Amino acid sequence: MKKLIFLLISTLLICTIVNAQYGINKAKYDYRHYTYQPGDPYNPSSAASASLFVPGLGQMISGESGRGICFLLGCTGCLVFSIAGGSIALNATEMDRDFEEKTRKGMAFLFSGLTATAGIWIWSIADASRVAKVNNLALRDKKKVSGNLSIQPYLNFRSYSTNNKTLLGLSVNMNF
């Protein structure tokens, strides 16, 4: 039991250290202001769908592997906790002096583990979408250019009078 608690606490600490960049991006960019633009590398709905099937997978495909592994380990740890509780409850026999206490403890572990697993899984689904949105906003800002210059050839075959001259030149477009 102590080893399981130590494992969960160490996993949370590792997640905190590994996800420092997402924490910085999250403080700078608000996911509620996100709108999809062509060229965004991470799709929020795909990330959420992936986390629906495997907790943490959406974070992994959105570029936050450490965060995704933490969600996966958290769900796995809670499932192991609930399986251990179910095992305690099922292995208690009526001949044991503390049969009722073992059964009660086992059922409490089982239901608390299942509740924690469901909570982490739902959190993983919502978080995967947010991670994808924040990472897209950060990448857009990183790739943003202060100015844009485009030069294109210009060719016009219109006839304005009896002169049939072709207009030829360059079109310049500057954006800042």
Of residues 153 and 174, more confidently modeled: 153
- Per-residue confidence (pLDDT) for residue 75, from 0 to 100: 92
Q: Is residue 129 part of a domain?
A: yes
Q: Is residue 46 part of a domain?
A: yes
Q: Is residue 11 part of a domain?
A: yes
Which of 113, 21, 5 shows the shortest CA–CA distance to 67?
21
**Chain position carrying tokens 């994808």:** 132
Q: Is residue 172 part of a domain?
A: no
Q: Is residue 106 part of a domain?
A: yes
- Per-residue confidence (pLDDT) for residue 125, from 0 to 100: 94
DSSP category for residue 33: G
Total number of domains in the chain: 1
Residue 21 belongs to domain spanning:
2-147
Kindly state the percentage of the chain with pLDDT values over 70: 75
- Per-residue confidence (pLDDT) for residue 29, from 0 to 100: 80
Find the range with the poorest average confidence among 20-29, 53-62, 86-95, 103-112: 20-29
Q: Is residue 163 part of a domain?
A: no
Largest separation between any pair of C-alpha atoms in the chain = 114
Chain segment 29-64, per-residue pLDDT in tens: 888 878 887 888 888 999 999 999 999 999 989 888
Q: Is residue 93 part of a domain?
A: yes
Distance CA 53, CA 153 (A): 52
Helix (H) or strand (E) holding 92: none
Confidence bin at 65 (pLDDT 50/70/90): confident
